[in-house]
Structure 1
Amino acid sequence: MARPSTRRPGLSGALSAVMHLDDYLIGVPDPSQDGPDSRRHVANRFIILAVLGLAISNIIAAIETVVMIQLVMTGGELSVSGMIADSNLPVLIVAVVAALAVGGALSVYLLYPQLTWFVKAVPATPAQRRSIQLMPLQQAGSALLTWAVGAIVYIPIGLGGSAVEFVVFGSAFLMAGTSAGCLSYLFVERMSRPLVAIALRDGVLGRAILGVRERLLAVWIVFCAIPLFGIIAINVGRLAGWLPDNRMLIDTPTVVLAIFCLLGGIRATVLVSRSITDPLREIRTGMEQLQAGQVHPVLDVYDSSELGILQQGFNDMVAGLAEREQIRELFERHVGDGVARLALEQGAGFHGENAFVGVLFVDIQGSTKLAEREKPETVATLLNSFFAIVAEVVDRHDGFINKFEGDAALAIFGAPSAVDDPAGAALAAARDLYAELETLRPLRFSIGVSAGTVFAGNIGAVTRYEYTVVGDAVNESARLSEAAKSVRSHVLASGAAMDASEDESSQWNSIGSLVLRGRAVPTKLYTIATDAADPSWWSLKSLVGTAIKIPGMMLGVREQR
């Protein structure tokens, strides 16, 4: 029982090591550490892998070609001495050297500009991006040219001159070159991912180049079309008398050709499947990260096919989501999360409703003189400190800051989000503000609290409107804030607010009534209980004088002082 459990981790570890090695071989430089040194390392790695890969592909194609020619021309017999004796070695050596020289020179000529650009770490031009994307096709063409040169040198000189030899060797070279070209295409497509990924950082993949269809077509040509064509050609040649009949118990040439096809198909299938599954796996991983809400993943776009467009589309989607979240966050900061949520739910339009709310108006005293005396940046710093405290306290009591008015703030409790006790929430917030704004001394402030039914909704024009509240309670809270300047606590609440909240009644004491400007009946005044014990802390005469000076408040907007 212990032996299988021991082997599984070993196999799993081996597969993991292969995956890590594969990721290392085709890894894209980290954008945060991208530079000439990093790119030079990637370029050297690419050169080594490309040379090895192309050499191995051509060697395998050469071995398969020689073996198949020997089997076809001898009726199924295969011997190393026979292959050496039948071949013209001097001509074969010259053909190989000429083919490698021409093909190698062409490969270097095609790769040199791309690697030079890559190492310089400069943005790619559109022409460079396209040339880098076409690297697999260019190397496939180079492999075809290599075999074409070998055929041109060897067939006319190294053979005996019979038509059958010309046809057999010509067909063999053609199929071998096609096979080597397709394998080179698949191999270089995988090895060139780092270069393509970095090139496409500077641009957009407008359309698919060398798509999935082309890759599948390459596999079909190498491991389906060419072997089947070879089998057909062998049988036609035997029927016509051009080739000797099979002398073995089994049809050796077709069996060996099938074996080559099976073994080669594994190589090609791995390359093609990885070229398709790797981008899809990365997209799936990115989707999982996105759904988890942890990050906004950005994928390297290294595929020039439809999969690359899918990678780029994923990045565009992620960028759009990030931008939307940023806009939503900014929107919430400007208008409040409750208003933002309501706007998203209801959409554009003049939406609104009547609601019973608590209203708190807080104002800085002497702000005009403060602006005259201090530098603008000093005033801005003080205002930010003041509003930070106001925002924190209002948010703590589930309120909504309807607007900042230069040196004042209007807070609403009960709209756009409902609360259980709007008036109580406003009164409790006023008491907390009274305590916490003391830290800003000698800055002085005044607070007015009221409650009542108001219209809460969008006000303005079709092209530009804002969420606000309209009603007598808003005006009353602003006038109470002015009157509170004559109270030592600088906090006044109306009788309407007190009557609407039983929980706060014990925390406030009545100090009489006053007819505020614009109102027909007196307004009951309440202040924080700690101040009511000392009558010298408030003066009815001062309250009356202050009330006469109170400017009108319309729609929650104060007159300029």
Structure 2
Amino acid sequence: MKTERAETAPRARRRPGSVLGPLWRLIDGGPDDTRAEIARRARVLVRISTALANLGGALVVLAFAVIVPDPVGEVSERLRLINLIVFTLYVTAAVPVGLVLGERFFRRVRRMVERHDEPDRHERSLLLYGPLRLMALHLTLWGIGTVGWVVINAPFSGLLAVKLGLTSLLGGLTTCTVVYLLTERLLRRAVTTALRSEMPRRTGLPGVVARSVLAWGLGTAVPILGLITLAVGSFVIARITVREFAVAVLALGGIALVVGLGVTYGAARAIADPVESVRLGLARIERGDLDVEVPVYDASEVGLLQAGFNHMAAGLREHERLRDLFGRQVGADAARVAVERGIDLGGELREVAVIFVDIIGSTRLAADRPPAEVVRLLNDFFAVVVEVIGAHGGWINKFEGDAALAIFGAPLALDGAPARALAASRELARRLREDVPALSAAVGVSAGEAVAGHIGAEERFEYTVIGDPVNEAARLTDMAKTTSERVLAAGSLLAEAGPDEAAHWSLGDEVTLRGRTQPTRLASPFPAERVPT
């Protein structure tokens, strides 16, 4: 069965030449990895890293047990041998036990992945609390070992038991913190896929402050506490030579520097990576790319920051989609003016040029052809109208059944509006004959002073243009249906259009259009402008 594809690996964008680039690719995998592949990789890497972290921690504890001076002076070789054997046996048994118990966690993750369903709340909690549960598991094993070591040594020397117990306890705390940070990083991709559908609000997971304090405590405070304990022991017991004290301080201080750096870097990256992903997402939005979503790494404050960014980006996309739809409904210029200036019912006087275009014989067209074909022809017709009008700087104010009203000069002033309207009408007639030969359409052109604004009520209104030029263009369209050119314009436009455009037109008779009292001088394009059908 085909598995669904997981999202792009959730890591901050690295430079191609980054030294750690291969490591991040090994940890996060490829962008097209399936959920099953992500789970398998996380399982292998977590097992390897936790085993190495615990073995490394055990070796460090063993080294300190040897390097740090014994508070009771020399310890018998027999006791040393017993401690070494017990320690080795316990580590040899505890590491596999920890891996086996941790495998139960990944079995549940594997079952969740194999279902290919969105994880439910319980399964999301399983992934979110995975690092803490693994840390608690290994901390328990370290605690059992520490108690056992103390119990074995207590009959021989209470001070020696305290020394070994503190050494094991501090080493175990540091090791388990490393296990938590490593597991949290290695499970990040799997957690990202689980948090895509829903973001839990309260989890109790360590946040920014808790992680910073934890990194300081176990990367700095624990080693320093070890140094303080060593110093106090040297004052109280006074059986430690200066050389032994210096060697212990150098060893403890050196390991503290290395471990502290690693723990601090891991905690810092756990905070910096999500912030970096949000920063990169904001940069893409600033460039106008709203189709961006950052991966949500966890359910702490940084995860909420990433989820908040995704909600913001989704809101911006929705806003842009509504703005685009608004622009398509009322025209880009009208939408831009409404957004920038607000909407007030009423209008303003504007010098506009108007084109009215209407299909001839639309009633018979609807009666003779199937509805689907009629819709297709109308869409082809309006597509040509919108393209030509827009190319000349106008916009479609409204579609009225089988007709369209185009405006030049409102809501924004437009230089040369009469010339643009005349040129658009000539091209429109030609294009309609060429591109939509199944339809015949008439075009009327007028210009003058009109009222442009939002008309209607507060609950429902539209931007429109009302005035004599609109009425005159509609009447000229009706008259153009009886002419061979199918285009008529008010002759007064030729003087306003300039000689270049006027050269394409011829003046005709004066007529009084229906519903008007003043005569209108007709103008039509020269027959040479017509492309035969």
Give the superposition deviation at 1:215.
2.0
1:3 alignment partner in structure 2: none
Task: Output the CA distance in 2 between the equivalents of 1:77 and 1:319.
Answer: 69
Give the superposition deviation at 1:19.
2.2
2:67 alignment partner in structure 1: 71
Alignment of 1:36-185 (within 5 A): 38-74=34-70, 85-100=80-95, 102-157=97-152, 160-185=155-180
**1:523 counterpart = 2:524:** no
Give the superposition deviation at 1:135.
1.4
Equivalent pair of 2:353/2:407 in contact (CA under 8 Å): yes
Given candidates 261, 264, 267, the residue that maps to 2:259 is 264
Gaps of 5+ in 1: 1-12, 533-561
Tell me which moved more, 141-150 or 104-113. 104-113
Equivalent pair of 2:447/2:469 in contact (CA under 8 Å): yes
What number of residue pairs does the alignment pair up?
513
Task: Output the CA distance in 1 between the equivalents of 2:345 and 2:303.
Answer: 45
1:252 alignment partner in structure 2: 247
> What code does the residue aligned with 2:527 have?
T
Alignment of 1:278-297 (within 5 A): 278-293=273-288, 296-297=291-292
Using a 3 Å threshold, how does the CA distance of structure 1 residues 249 and 24 change in structure 2: closer, same or farther?
Answer: closer
> What code does the residue aligned with 2:423 have?
A
Task: Output the CA distance in 2 between the equivalents of 1:71 and 1:506.
Answer: 104
1:232 alignment partner in structure 2: 228
1:27 alignment partner in structure 2: 28
Give the superposition deviation at 1:513.
1.8
Using a 3 Å threshold, how does the CA distance of structure 1 residues 176 and 169 change in structure 2: closer, same or farther?
Answer: same
Tell me which moved more, 323-332 or 67-76. 67-76
Given candidates 391, 395, 401, the residue that maps to 1:396 is 391
SS in 2 for 1:301: coil
Task: Output the CA distance in 2 between the equivalents of 1:49 and 1:234.
Answer: 36
Task: Output the CA distance in 2 between the equivalents of 1:55 and 1:84.
Answer: 28
1:407 alignment partner in structure 2: 402
> What code does the residue aligned with 1:312 have?
A
**1:508 counterpart = 2:505:** yes
> What code does the residue aligned with 2:214 have?
A
1:329-359 C-alpha deviation (Å, 9 max, x unpaired): 2222222111111111111222531011111
Task: Output the CA distance in 2 between the equivalents of 1:444 and 1:138.
Answer: 76
Equivalent pair of 1:363/1:447 in contact (CA under 8 Å): yes
Using a 3 Å threshold, how does the CA distance of structure 1 residues 88 and 397 change in structure 2: closer, same or farther?
Answer: closer
Give the superposition deviation at 1:196.
0.6
Give the superposition deviation at 1:371.
0.4
Equivalent pair of 2:354/2:447 in contact (CA under 8 Å): yes
Given candidates 296, 300, 304, the residue that maps to 1:309 is 304
2:474 alignment partner in structure 1: 478
Given candidates 327, 335, 338, the residue that maps to 1:343 is 338
Task: Output the CA distance in 2 between the equivalents of 1:497 and 1:103.
Answer: 90
Task: Output the CA distance in 2 between the equivalents of 1:110 and 1:484.
Answer: 80
> What code does the residue aligned with 2:39 have?
A
Tell me which moved more, 285-294 or 197-206. 285-294
Using a 3 Å threshold, how does the CA distance of structure 1 residues 351 and 245 change in structure 2: closer, same or farther?
Answer: farther
Give the superposition deviation at 1:237.
2.9
Task: Output the CA distance in 1 between the equivalents of 2:15 and 2:145.
Answer: 40
SS in 1 for 2:497: coil
Task: Output the CA distance in 1 between the equivalents of 2:294 and 2:335.
Answer: 31
SS in 1 for 2:481: helix
Equivalent pair of 2:216/2:264 in contact (CA under 8 Å): no
> What code does the residue aligned with 1:479 have?
R
Task: Output the CA distance in 2 between the equivalents of 1:149 and 1:314.
Answer: 44
Task: Output the CA distance in 2 between the equivalents of 1:502 and 1:92.
Answer: 101
1:557 alignment partner in structure 2: none
Using a 3 Å threshold, how does the CA distance of structure 1 residues 287 and 173 change in structure 2: closer, same or farther?
Answer: same
Equivalent pair of 2:149/2:165 in contact (CA under 8 Å): no
Task: Output the CA distance in 2 between the equivalents of 1:411 and 1:345.
Answer: 23
Task: Output the CA distance in 1 between the equivalents of 2:139 and 2:438.
Answer: 87
Aligned CA-pair RMSD: 2.9
2:323 alignment partner in structure 1: 328
Equivalent pair of 2:354/2:473 in contact (CA under 8 Å): yes
Equivalent pair of 1:87/1:158 in contact (CA under 8 Å): no
Task: Output the CA distance in 1 between the equivalents of 2:478 and 2:455.
Answer: 26
Task: Output the CA distance in 1 between the equivalents of 2:72 and 2:288.
Answer: 64
Task: Output the CA distance in 2 between the equivalents of 1:107 and 1:218.
Answer: 23
Task: Output the CA distance in 2 between the equivalents of 1:455 and 1:15.
Answer: 60
**1:273 counterpart = 2:268:** yes
Task: Output the CA distance in 1 between the equivalents of 2:46 and 2:79.
Answer: 30
Give the superposition deviation at 1:191.
0.9
1:97-151 C-alpha deviation (Å, 9 max, x unpaired): 5533553443233343224323443211112112211112111111211111212
1:552 alignment partner in structure 2: none
SS in 2 for 1:518: coil
> What code does the residue aligned with 2:249 have?
T
Equivalent pair of 1:95/1:151 in contact (CA under 8 Å): no
Give the superposition deviation at 1:326.
2.0
Give the superposition deviation at 1:368.
0.4
Tell me which moved more, 138-147 or 310-319. 310-319
1:237-278 C-alpha deviation (Å, 9 max, x unpaired): 33333x722252753222321112112112213322322222
SS in 2 for 1:26: helix
SS in 2 for 1:202: coil
Give the superposition deviation at 1:184.
1.0
1:57-89 C-alpha deviation (Å, 9 max, x unpaired): 22222222222233334479999x969845444
Equivalent pair of 2:356/2:474 in contact (CA under 8 Å): yes
Tell me which moved more, 189-198 or 522-531. 522-531
Percent identity of the aligned residues?
36
> What code does the residue aligned with 2:27 have?
I
Using a 3 Å threshold, how does the CA distance of structure 1 residues 169 and 75 change in structure 2: closer, same or farther?
Answer: closer
> What code does the residue aligned with 2:282 have?
M
Equivalent pair of 1:98/1:149 in contact (CA under 8 Å): no
Alignment of 1:458-477 (within 5 A): 458-477=454-473
2:11 alignment partner in structure 1: none
Equivalent pair of 1:76/1:247 in contact (CA under 8 Å): no
Task: Output the CA distance in 1 between the equivalents of 2:73 and 2:149.
Answer: 23
Task: Output the CA distance in 2 between the equivalents of 1:215 and 1:177.
Answer: 18
Equivalent pair of 1:102/1:149 in contact (CA under 8 Å): no
Given candidates 439, 443, 448, the residue that maps to 1:443 is 439
Equivalent pair of 1:142/1:181 in contact (CA under 8 Å): no
> What code does the residue aligned with 1:332 have?
G
The structure with the largest alpha-carbon Rg is: 1
Equivalent pair of 1:509/1:529 in contact (CA under 8 Å): yes
Equivalent pair of 2:357/2:404 in contact (CA under 8 Å): yes
Tell me which moved more, 349-358 or 85-94. 85-94
